[in-house]
Structure 1
Amino acid sequence: MPKSLRLALAQMAVTENLAANQQKGLDWVKQAAKEGAQIICFTELGLLPFFPQYRAEKKFFQWAEAIDGPTVKKFAEAAVSANIHLLLNIFERAGTGEYYDSTVLLKATGGPALGPVRMMHTAEEPGFNEKFYYWSGNTPPQVFDLDGVKIGVAICYDRHFPEYTRQLVLQGAEIIFTPFAGLVDDPLKMYEIEMQAMAFQNQIFVAAVNRVGKEPAAEFVGGSFVGDPSGEVIARAPRGEEKLLVVDCDLSRLEEMRQVRPFLRDRRPEIYRAWASQTQLTTLADA
């Protein structure tokens, strides 16, 4: 296993000029490769305005693409040209009337897009009107091997559900990337603490990449960060401005932390399963 992975998080602002967004993204791919990154991860809907800020606007379905659509193909070519792996979150059209918030992995060596990882949990709250636009993903959590480094993806809302991220770890994930959309009035510090706990409890690296910039109905704060297996934040992008955050992750830290605090070894899944089978859920109707 390589001793380190250099990753890049693209904390990028966008406009409704989709061509300009894509060109900026392609420029950032080149810059990340120039800085020696082995993988770059874009934010949630990283090349589009964050349309779930609007309630039930059918016009935004025109932005959906298949995972072999023109945007993914363009960035797949860029990944090969720059010799860098790439995680791209898109508005996926999977079939007639079937849409997802999805991330694909585009490998530096080429080939078809891997995944998609589809967001499993969809939010419905002010500024995040996701249930109108997205189906809830129902594919199992996926772990990808990048030159001996195993990575997983937890898209935005999925990171709040420890069952999801623990499953990625049980499948071998050493780094979990989280593309998300965090607003200026969101509890960003709590989000950071939440992911620090995720890193500590699972003894992995976490890499959270947030949108940034003011859009018509929302303002995104940035503050992307990387946490190590001890739960410490080792790098953080500024709030309120664009930043290509390039970070070295020393993967020997996983082994070091798991020797000292073997949380995964000490799990008792056989007992958890017994508890789950014996639990009787009382509904309001039964009370």
Structure 2
Amino acid sequence: MNIALVQHAASPPSAPAVERGAHAVREAADAGADLVVFPELSFTPFYPRVPVTERSQSALDLAEPVPGPTTEALAEAAADCGVVVVFNLMERDGGRTFDTSPVLDADGTLLGRTRMMHITEYEHFHEQGYYAPGDTGAPVYDTAAGRIGVAICYDRHYPEYLRALALQEADLVVVPQAGTVGEWPDGMYEAELRVAALQHGFFAALANRTGTEGQMQFAGRSFVTDPSGAVLAQAPGTEETTLHASVALGRTADAPARRLFLRHRRPDQYERGAVASNQDD
């Protein structure tokens, strides 16, 4: 399976940005991609860098439904090119908004959507004013390219979430991200996901933004790691580019996590330990 990670910067207004995204899908497909993945808030500015209370528009005004205009435009490109597409947007659902990644199959079918579960709040990431906590669980999608799970940005920090994807036999976990230069110690983006891939027995592919918005300089460095934690391909930090990588998803069956770690889990004892600790208190 050939993966294309589209590492790009925001280019408002949103309508031309979506057209640019559809063009990126077609270019990636022409280069042999089976799966195209975009960063977090794929075709808009990174809204949460400014507290929502300082905006003239509400979160609802900035969001759109799924399916909606962006989903439909990307679905058309996916179907035309016969590729699976994972992207990300601010979703409006009734009176709530979510950080959402729709998953489009190679015929343009909307297979479902993953909503970010864990919502952070710190400098430049004022996300609790924009997003409700996700309520879709941790779905794994049977796509034309393979069994794919999605961990949206902050969700990648939670081993429980990644374990839920692994227990459903995700062969690949894609991570739409908006990570900045200096946000974490150098190399931690890679190290964290490399260890997760080793512990859970899946390939992982992180698509990050690049460019500068306000005081935020996005780090780029999109990459793909295999189930042993080895980095297979990585993009530079400052350039807009599409990173291509070829992976053999069948290798997950021989991963240490699939052969050993997951088989030898003892969740009954983990829960018992928590109960005992509470009783001791």
TM-score (norm 1): 0.91
Quick one: which of 23, 47, 51 aligns to 1:51? Answer: 47
- The answer to whether the aligner puts 1:153 opposite 2:158 as a matched pair is no
Instruction: After TM superposition, list the pairs within 5 Å mapping 1:238-277 onto structure 2.
Output: 238-258=236-256, 262-277=260-275
What CA distance in whole angstroms lies between the structure 1 residues aligned with 2:33 and 2:88?
19
Structure 1 residue 102: deviation in Å?
A: 0.3
- The answer to whether the aligner puts 1:85 opposite 2:81 as a matched pair is no
CA contact (8 A) 1:30 1:82 kept: yes
Q: What secondary structure does 1:99 align onto?
A: strand
Structure 1 residue 278: deviation in Å?
A: 3.1
Further displaced range: 252-261 or 178-187? 252-261
Instruction: After TM superposition, list the pairs within 5 Å mapping 1:96-111 onto structure 2.
Output: 96=95, 98-111=96-109
CA contact (8 A) 1:43 1:209 kept: yes
Match of 2:183 in 1: 186
| Counterpart residue identity of residue 28, structure 2 | A
Structure 1 residue 14: deviation in Å?
A: 1.4
| Counterpart residue identity of residue 204, structure 1 | F
What CA distance in whole angstroms lies between the structure 2 residues aligned with 1:27 and 1:206?
24
CA contact (8 A) 2:119 2:133 kept: yes
| Counterpart residue identity of residue 157, structure 2 | H
Match of 1:34 in 2: 30
What CA distance in whole angstroms lies between the structure 2 residues aligned with 1:166 and 1:118?
17
Instruction: After TM superposition, list the pairs within 5 Å mapping 1:219-230 onto structure 2.
Output: 219-230=217-228
Structure 1 residue 159: deviation in Å?
A: 0.4
Structure 1 residue 281: deviation in Å?
A: 8.0
CA contact (8 A) 1:15 1:21 kept: yes
Q: What secondary structure does 2:247 align onto?
A: strand
| Same amino acid, percent of matched pairs | 40
| Counterpart residue identity of residue 122, structure 2 | E
Match of 2:174 in 1: 177
Q: Gapped runs of 5+ residues in structure 2?
A: none
TM-score (norm 2): 0.93
What CA distance in whole angstroms lies between the structure 2 residues aligned with 1:199 and 1:17?
36
Further displaced range: 15-24 or 234-243? 15-24
| Counterpart residue identity of residue 83, structure 2 | I
CA contact (8 A) 2:199 2:257 kept: no
CA contact (8 A) 1:51 1:60 kept: no
What CA distance in whole angstroms lies between the structure 2 residues aligned with 1:103 and 1:260?
27
Total equivalences in the alignment? 277
Structure 1 residue 109: deviation in Å?
A: 1.5
CA contact (8 A) 2:106 2:144 kept: no
Quick one: which of 2, 10, 14 aligns to 1:14? Answer: 10
What CA distance in whole angstroms lies between the structure 2 residues aligned with 1:136 and 1:46?
19
Structure 1 residue 175: deviation in Å?
A: 0.5
RMSD over equivalenced CA pairs, Å: 1.8
| Counterpart residue identity of residue 53, structure 1 | R
CA contact (8 A) 1:226 1:236 kept: yes
Moved over 4 A (4+): none
What CA distance in whole angstroms lies between the structure 1 residues aligned with 2:269 and 2:171?
26
The structure-2 alpha-carbon separation of the partners of 1:159 and 1:259, relative to structure 1 and needing over 3 Å to count, comes to: closer
CA contact (8 A) 2:115 2:135 kept: yes
CA contact (8 A) 1:223 1:237 kept: yes
